[in-house]
Amino acid sequence: MQKHRRRVVGSALLVVALAALSLAGSAQAKLGGEFTKFANCPYTNATALKCIYSVTESGEVLLGSKKVPIEKPVVLQGAYASPVEEKEEAEFYPFLAATNGITLSKAPQNVPGGILGIVPEASSPFLVKALIKFFLENSLTGVNSTLELAKPASAIRISENNLAGEIGTALQMPVKVHLENPFLGKKCYVGSESSPITWNLTTGTTKPPAPNTPITGSGGEGELLESAKILKLNNNLLVDNSWSAPKAAGCGGILSFLVDPIINAQLGTTTAGHNTAKLKGTLYEASAFTVNKYDKEHP
Amino acid sequence: MRTKAKAIGVALAALAVLCAMFATSASAASWKFEGKSLEGSEVVVGAAIDSSLTIPGLTTKCANFLYKLNIKNEGTTGKGEVTELPLYECTTDQPEVCTVKTIAAEKLPWAAKVTTVTTSNYIVIEGIKVAIKYAGIECALGGITVNVTGTAGGLLDNATETATFNSTTFGATKTELKALATKIQWTGLFPTEAFQWHREQALSVS
């Protein structure tokens, strides 16, 4: 009897779960074609001007002496509202968070050399490279670095004219880097909400303090999709090598007073002029009105 | 002995390569009126018979695409500069989505020169910058200033007294226009007509 009741309850829960999933699915299924990219855009928000979906597919983040290649895609999505300020002759738009809460996706990137930071020379034999990777980048000794927003999405600023015009700051984003490893605990961060890493990413040329030298991004190759309703920028390259980063903190749990200095020694100097961000990917943009209209016309 | 022969062979081969390079490279040509080389300067004006500019996915046309070009010869080379380029009544091929809010030539004058590639004469315009602002609540380019920049090479036809710009002429002159960091297509047919001292005289280039 008890067993039967349990089975009934279990079946009911399964049905509810499936129903919930199908509802969630249908909410997104309305957007078709290239518009599916904007499923998490707050296009029904009256202040939303344009929906944005940007995938960083490659690039690197150099934090002090640690270079982390971007191997797993990172998605920035949401919308931006009417301009709030003018800077460098460009209008800066405030960001609106993605409706699913994932404005910036968390994609853990492997830190070459793991916790010991031993990276073989590029000219090292394959076997040496493989062995170092095996011993130093496994689940115990390996370190993942995850980029996270340090402040609410509303702190992000975007200038579409600078983005397309390859001048000035195109995307300003407060971020923090989450370093993950069983020994580092769950709260090992470089940057925080009160002391974020502020990236002023440009598609133009940077003016960094020494020892860094200017680097140049790219607006990417533009094309218009869906009868000029969607702008796609292929090979969009956003760069910044003028940013500074605070010291790592919270590493090693209760032993952070011991572990933080070790991590900071590994990172080396992280003041402005010693760090670089290069984010290469594809960017999609459409007016929130258009996405909303498409959604209504395709129930 | 064998070394000397080889050296002469190499030298001849190098010479042949150089000759071939010069044969395909551009050379200069000058402006002429009624077959006589232009002395001093002249103003050439015209309006595009047909012209369009295509960013992948969106083509823009202007019903009134005028130009004013000051020309002169420097030695045996035809030179010039585009001093005015008023653009009016511009529309897109997606009129329900994108309209042209403003379009204007910037950083005028643009330098121009006449060049000969193989047997054809071309006008090459440098330092082009046209700023286009599109509008439309559904237009993906709405609110963005699209800057068209680069150089453009057009074929000069003495028989019809026109300059034709298209992908073939851009290729022949190794010129390109870009917008949104993307190579764009510009096609246009422009009559060339003297407006000042040589009115109604046949303009040619050779």
Q: DSSP letter string over chain B?
A: -HHHHHHHHHHHHHHHHHHHHHHHS-EE--EEETTEEP-SEEEEEEE-SEEEEEETTEEEEEEEEEEEEEEEEETTEEEEEEEE--EEEEEES-TTT-EEEEEEE-SPPEEEEEEEETTEEEEEEEEEEEEEEEE-TT-TTBTPEEEEEEEEEEEEETTTTEEEESHHHHHHTT--EEETTEEEEEEEEEE-EE-SSSTTPPEEE-
Indicate if the pLDDT at residue A18 is higher than 50.
no
Indicate if the pLDDT at residue B1 is higher than 70.
no
| Structure confidence at residue A267 (pLDDT) | 86
In a domain, B6, yes or no: no
Whether A233 and chain B come into contact, CB under 8 Å, resolves to yes
Indicate if the pLDDT at residue B60 is higher than 80.
yes
User: With a cut of 0.85, is the ipTM above it?
Assistant: no
Structural domain harbouring A146: 33-297
Residue B58 is encoded by which pair of tokens?
A: 């969106």
Interval A203-252: pLDDT, tens: 999 999 999 999 999 989 999 999 999 999 999 999 999 999 999 999 98
In a domain, B41, yes or no: yes
| Structure confidence at residue A6 (pLDDT) | 55
Answer with the residue of higher pLDDT: A88 or B168: B168
In a domain, B7, yes or no: no
| Structure confidence at residue B137 (pLDDT) | 93
Whether A161 and chain B come into contact, CB under 8 Å, resolves to yes
In a domain, B9, yes or no: no
In a domain, B20, yes or no: no
In a domain, B4, yes or no: no
Residues A102 and A246 in one domain: yes
Is residue B184 within 8 Å of B178, Cβ to Cβ? yes
In a domain, B17, yes or no: no
Residues A43 and A89 in one domain: yes
Instruction: Name the residue of chain A whose CA is nearest to B94's CA.
Output: A227
Size of interface A-B (CB pairs under 8 A): 74
- Across the range B90-110, mean pLDDT stands at 95
Exposed/middle/buried for residue B30 (C-beta within 10 Å: 0-12, 13-18, 19+): buried
Q: Chain A partners of B177 at a C-beta cutoff of 8 Å?
A: none
- Across the range A3-13, mean pLDDT stands at 52
Contact assignment for B58 to A290 by CB distance below 8 Å: no
Instruction: Name the residue of chain B whose CA is nearest to A293's CA.
Output: B138
| Structure confidence at residue B24 (pLDDT) | 44
Q: Chain A partners of B145 at a C-beta cutoff of 8 Å?
A: 161, 164-165
Residues A53 and A98 in one domain: yes
In angstroms, rounded to a whole number, what is the distance separating the alpha carbons of residues B206 and B200? 19
Indicate if the pLDDT at residue B203 is higher than 90.
no
Q: Chain A partners of B58 at a C-beta cutoff of 8 Å?
A: 224, 228
**Number of structural domains in chain B:** 1
Structural domain harbouring B93: 26-205
Which DSSP string corresponds to A115-173?
A: GGT----TTS-HHHHHHHHHHHSSTTT-EEEEEEESS-GGG-EE-HHHHHHT-S-SEEE
Whether A225 and chain B come into contact, CB under 8 Å, resolves to yes
Indicate if the pLDDT at residue A113 is higher than 80.
no
Indicate if the pLDDT at residue A2 is higher than 70.
no
CA-to-CA dists, residue A132 to A62, A71, A142, B6, B158, angstroms: 21, 19, 11, 54, 71
**Number of structural domains in chain A:** 2
Residues A9 and A157 in one domain: no
pTM for the model stands at 0.80
Residues A187 and A272 in one domain: yes
Contact assignment for B180 to A164 by CB distance below 8 Å: yes
| Residue A4 distance to chain B (closest CA, Å) | 56
Q: Is A25 helix (H, G, I), strand (E, B) or coil?
A: helix
Question: H helices within chain A, ranges in order?
Answer: 2-29, 126-136, 160-165, 256-267, 288-297
Indicate if the pLDDT at residue A90 is higher than 70.
no
